[in-house]
Amino acid sequence: MKLLLLNVLFFHFLLGYDYTLKPEKVNATTYCFFGLAEAMDEHNNGNMVNSCFVNTGTHYLVIDSGPTYQFAKQAYTKMKEIQALPISFVINTHTHDDHWLGNAYYRELGVDILGSKEFANEPKAQETRMQKRITKEAYKGTSQVFPNLFVEGKKTLEIDGKKVIIKSVNKKAHSKSDLYIYIPEYATVFAGDLVFNERIPSIRDGNLRNWIEALDTVKSMDAQYIIGGHGKLVDKHSVDATYKYLSELTEGVSLALEEGTDITQTLDSVKMEDFKDFKMYDTLHRQNIETAYRILEWEE
């Protein structure tokens, strides 16, 4: 009996982890696999990030390949059940590994992958954040495959007669590598982690003022759908929560600095009550205040 159980467990390990993914229709051309509003761990195995597929006519364009090889493979399998189309390109919105560790699967298919020029300077980690935090079963098959095509400034693709405009923020916002993708014919913008909703954003690698400026640009675009890197809100107001959070955080911490309030007191005073019911408030908000204090103190 014990031998049978061991054989079953070994067989499941060989198969890997089943993410039980379900594509959700955003509009006539776009489906997304929406991640959970929580941190990566051994329970969700990295399924906390958005990965989207755009049907351009005879191909799928993939925006962010997801957290693991198995996630990417299972997502594409689900999309082929809807319509069996090849992949034209994969675009990685930035260098945080939850958004691109599925690249290895698409590289096996011979697909070109685009990302920020910052990927060219990104060292491969001995062990990725994802690898440290999820199960070995789920990480099985995953390797660090960076984009082979880089975006600096602006790049326009034409896929099935549709223009796909890829723009780099070109300065540190959410990260130093943020891209957003605009498909005018579909009135759709993919904003990556410039946009969070339903949960508090992490600003650990960011610059508040540049991030707000980047969101001003996204808000000004002629788009009916704005799809972020985390959260299920996808209309043109999906930007609002992140914009409000960053603006109020900047204002509150700046005022504390002007008044000579030390960082300990600032951590207790910048509560931002409107966001208390957002996911991850308890784990991220105080960290964000501390990060904002350090950033804005340096500016002063």
Check whether 12 has a pLDDT greater than 50: no
Mean pLDDT, to the nearest integer, of 217-226?
97
Q: What percent of the chain has pLDDT over 90?
A: 94
Q: What are phi and psi of 28, to 5 degrees?
A: -65, -20
pLDDT per residue as tens digits for the range 153-166 = 999 999 999 999 99
Provide the pLDDT for residue 298. 83
Mean pLDDT, to the nearest integer, of 171-198?
97
> The tokens of 131 are what?
């690898």
Q: Is residue 160 part of a domain?
A: yes
pLDDT per residue as tens digits for the range 88-98 = 999 999 999 99
Provide the pLDDT for residue 91. 99
Q: Is residue 7 part of a domain?
A: no
Interior/surface letters 6-32, b for 16+ CB within 10 angstroms, e for the rest: eeeeeeeeeebbebebebeebeebbbb
> The tokens of 135 are what?
């199960």
Q: Is residue 261 part of a domain?
A: no
**pLDDT level of residue 1 (50, 70, 90 thresholds):** low
> The tokens of 9 are what?
């467990």
**pLDDT level of residue 258 (50, 70, 90 thresholds):** very high
DSSP lists the bridge partners of residue 25 as: 31
The length of the chain, given as a count of residues: 300
pTM for the full model? 0.94
The domain that contains 136 carries what CATH number?
3.60.15.10
> The tokens of 222 are what?
């002629």
pLDDT per residue as tens digits for the range 18-27 = 999 999 999 9
DSSP 202: P
Provide the pLDDT for residue 8. 39
Provide the pLDDT for residue 15. 62
Q: Distance (Å, rounded) from C-alpha 132 to C-alpha 97?
A: 12
Check whether 103 has a pLDDT greater than 80: yes
Check whether 5 has a pLDDT greater than 60: no
Provide the pLDDT for residue 16. 83
Mean pLDDT, to the nearest integer, of 188-204?
97
Domain count, the chain: 1
Mean pLDDT, to the nearest integer, of 239-268?
97
Check whether 113 has a pLDDT greater than 70: yes
Provide the pLDDT for residue 13. 45
Q: Distance (Å, rounded) from C-alpha 40 to C-alpha 222?
A: 33
Provide the pLDDT for residue 196. 98
Q: Is residue 180 part of a domain?
A: yes
Residues spanned by the domain of 225: 12-238
pLDDT per residue as tens digits for the range 166-183 = 999 999 999 999 999 999
Q: Is residue 296 part of a domain?
A: no
DSSP for 21-68 reads ---EE-SSSEEEEPPPSS---TTTTT--S-EEEEE-SSSEEEE--BSS
Q: What is the mean pLDDT of the chain?
A: 95
Q: What percent of the chain has pLDDT over 70?
A: 95
Map tokens 């107001």 to a residue.
Answer: 237
**pLDDT level of residue 4 (50, 70, 90 thresholds):** very low
pLDDT per residue as tens digits for the range 53-68 = 999 999 999 999 999 9
Q: Do 133 and 40 contact (CB within 8 A), yes or no? A: yes
Q: Is residue 47 part of a domain?
A: yes
Q: Is residue 252 part of a domain?
A: no
Q: Is residue 298 part of a domain?
A: no
Provide the pLDDT for residue 11. 42
Provide the pLDDT for residue 3. 52
CA 288 to chain centre: 18
